[in-house]
Chain A
Amino acid sequence: MLHTKIVNSKDTKLLINQAENFISSSNFGASIIFTGTVRNQNNNQTVTGITYDSHDELVIKSFKEIYNDSDQKLNIQDKSVFIEHAKGYLELGEISIIIAVACKHRDEAYVLSRYIIEEIKKRSPIWKKEHYANNESAWLKGNPILHEKN
């Protein structure tokens, strides 16, 4: 089971209880909820907030591919996964991403949760623009997207 969504911060916030509800099942004995939040420091600069940008269609496609790839690469077929990422402006402490996973056993849950966030960093077209205390702002450099060449 998979749930994916890009959440515009103008409309609503990312909610952990929605993730809990989605993955809750007596089929699974282990669950992990990972959240990423906006922190107040980066590269020796005082951060006041982050604007997230996203190519929504490609991001959702990448989330589905990452979920499907985990069948083969991690050999974890029985699982429930909830992935939501924010777009728009977030203040310090606000949640930018929720990855909730439920599996039969804890080993699988830990591996799957880590796999998903690391793959999102490499494969999902999302960008961050940091805003600083001195009123300046800058897009973070990032890494070229990983993809299969056509």
Chain B
Amino acid sequence: MKIKIELYGASRDFSNQSFLDFEVDKNSTIKDIRNKLIDYLDEKFSGNENYKKIVNSSAFCSADDNIVSDNYKITSNEKIAIIPPIGGG
């Protein structure tokens, strides 16, 4: 199934666009998305360690604007936002 990862903060450096599209297995979880992003960074940015750290320290937000845990199951065509470490004000 297709899913869309919306990029925020430091993760915007992962692409020239504001999102990434991935094809994932049915019943995939946030943990799977995290691994998929790491694979993407390995391929696209030669495993840039700083980028990987961002992924590993990020939270994820579901389409209905809730922060979700690693075992959250993603539905088809769901938009998931990556929430890197924050610091507004």
Interface residues of A (CB under 8 A from B): 36, 52-55, 57-59, 61, 85, 96-97, 117, 120-122, 124-128, 139-145, 147-150
Contacts and interface: CB of A to CB of B under 8 A. Distances in A.
A140 B83 contact: no
Contacts of A145: 59, 67, 83, 85-86
A125 B89 contact: no
B17 interface: no
A interface, by DSSP: helix, strand, loop or mixed? mixed
Contacts of B1: none
A96 B87 contact: no
14 contacts: A58-B81, A61-B65, A96-B89, A120-B88, A121-B86, A122-B86, A126-B88, A128-B88, A139-B9, A142-B9, A142-B84, A144-B58, A145-B59, A145-B67
Interface residues of B, number: 23
Given A57-B65, A149-B69, A150-B72, A120 B81 contact: no
A119 B66 CA distance: 17
Contacts of A61: 65
B10 A97 contact: no
Contacts of A122: 86
A147 B67 contact: yes
B85 A144 contact: yes
B59 A141 contact: no
A85 B88 contact: yes
Given A53-B9, A144-B57, A145-B59, A127 B84 contact: yes
